Amino acid sequence: MNPDAQTLWKAPRWALAILLAVLGMLGPFSIDTYIPAFSGIARSIGATPVEMQQTLSAYLFGFAFMNLFHGALSDSFGRRPVVLWGLAVFTIASLGCALSQTIGQLVLFRALQGLSTGAGIVVSRAVIRDMFPPAEAQKVMAQVTIYFGVAPAIAPIVGGLLFVHAGWHAIFWFLVAVGMVLFVANYKLLPETLHVTQRQPFNARHLMRGYWDLCSDPRFLLLALASGVPFNGMFLYVLSAPAFLGDHLGLAPTQFFWFFLLTIGGIMAGAWASGRMAGKVAPKRQIRDGFVIMLVTSAANVVANALFEPHPLWSMWPIAVFAFGWALMVPVITLLVLDLHPERRGMASSLQAVIGSTANGLVAGLIAPLVMHSPLGLAVTSILMMAVGLVAWVWLHRRWPEIGQKVASY
């Protein structure tokens, strides 16, 4: 924690949470706005559904790759420069997407978007731990998750309306405007939270030693798997939204927002509950409760899809409840990850994001195209994604039972 934290931000805590949430939401917002326009983009530029899916994969793999460096750069040069450069590159990439005329151009600029948006997610986590002690940090992390949920709920509505009334290029012009507004806001408001005495030297040897320390720590790897992979049990449905919502549930693009509204509502409710538990409930109990909710909901979803035809009245609710369980436990796991190696919080945040986003990319590019045309296939794949995280957490819990045992202090 920065020893000067009290003097860096004098506005209310929730105001900083909003600023960091807006940074963190940029990545998901870049996905959710253009998903309702998938079929229209494909028709406009002559792309196949598989080629359109690669625009997601390129984004997610670019996100995963650059996340190897966002945190390390912020540990060496400060949080603020990394955020500002990331927002500048995102704005340029969005401009490229808006001007794209072929699927190749769109994939290229989507990859560039992915390379840049991770800066907000990675650095915002490190900023929280720079500024607050453990229990306060959990509350702020939960607040960030709540505010973060508002934008993805709005994004498909905005994307659907822009697509219907102005064409798909307007979606990316909108993202250009978002990037510019965020750059100005962070340039004026975001303080530098990394104390000069806590900066790490930036050189190849030091960087590789840091990666080795983290990647050779099984506690770190298991915690990162426990938080990152289960997210795909929910994200799979987001990636498959055109098929799941349009083909299976018969919804129009302008009606997709109902799915996102329910899912993000689940995330916000889970994050709110997580914040209420901060300093009162042991982290491992909170994590256990989150996995129990995800497991029961996923199993019920598989059974329902095996017995009944999918219908809008019931098919979207399991994903929302799953999202609640995930959001209940992920702020806690994230803080456990950051506190394993306090001197390398930026790098730890980077590698945690890399593991999660690599899984996201594999799901987007390989798994989602295989199962998106079967409601039962989606449900089974979702529970398998959750199971990977559950196994990782159970393994960690048995090998290092002391992790997450103490209630976070203020």
- Quick: pLDDT tens for 234-269: 888 887 887 888 888 888 877 877 888 888 889 889
> Is residue 390 in some structural domain?
yes
Does 335 share its domain with 399?
A: yes
pLDDT per position as a tens digit, 143-177: 777 766 666 667 777 888 888 888 889 999 999 99
Does 153 share its domain with 289?
A: no
Instruction: Yes or no: say if 13 and 138 are a contact pair by the CB < 8 Å rule.
Output: no
Does 135 share its domain with 243?
A: no
At 410 the pLDDT is: 46
> Is residue 205 in some structural domain?
no
Q: Kindly report the CATH number assigned to the domain that includes residue 388.
A: 1.20.1250.20
User: Which of 152, 171, 198 lies at the terminal end of a domain, its last residue?
Assistant: 198
> Is residue 2 in some structural domain?
no
CA distance 111 to 108: 5
Q: What is the mean pLDDT of the chain?
A: 84
- Angle at which helix 13-32 crosses helix 79-99, to 10 degrees, equals 30
At 148 the pLDDT is: 65
Mean pLDDT within 398-406: 84
pTM for this predicted structure = 0.72
Q: Based on the structure, what is the number of domains in the chain?
A: 2
pLDDT per position as a tens digit, 84-131: 999 999 999 999 999 998 899 999 999 999 889 878 877 887 888 788
> Is residue 60 in some structural domain?
yes
- Angle at which helix 49-77 crosses helix 38-45, to 10 degrees, equals 110
- What percentage of the chain carries pLDDT values higher than 90? 27
Does 173 share its domain with 262?
A: no
Q: Which residue has the higher pLDDT, 375 or 359?
A: 375
pLDDT per position as a tens digit, 216-229: 889 989 998 998 88
Give CA separation, 336 vs 32, 131, 136, 295, 405, in Å.
29, 16, 14, 22, 11
> Is residue 1 in some structural domain?
no
Identify the weakest region by mean pLDDT among 136-140, 157-161, 307-311, 314-318. Answer: 136-140
User: Which of 178, 198, 218 lies at the terminal end of a domain, its last residue?
Assistant: 198
Does 85 share its domain with 168?
A: yes
Q: Which domain holds residue 394?
A: 210-409
pLDDT band at 29 (very low <50, low <70, confident <90, very high): confident
> Is residue 203 in some structural domain?
no
Buried b (16+ CB within 10 A) or exposed e, 270-305: bbbbbbebbbebebbebbbbbbebbbebbebbbebb
Identify the weakest region by mean pLDDT among 9-13, 222-226, 323-327. Answer: 9-13
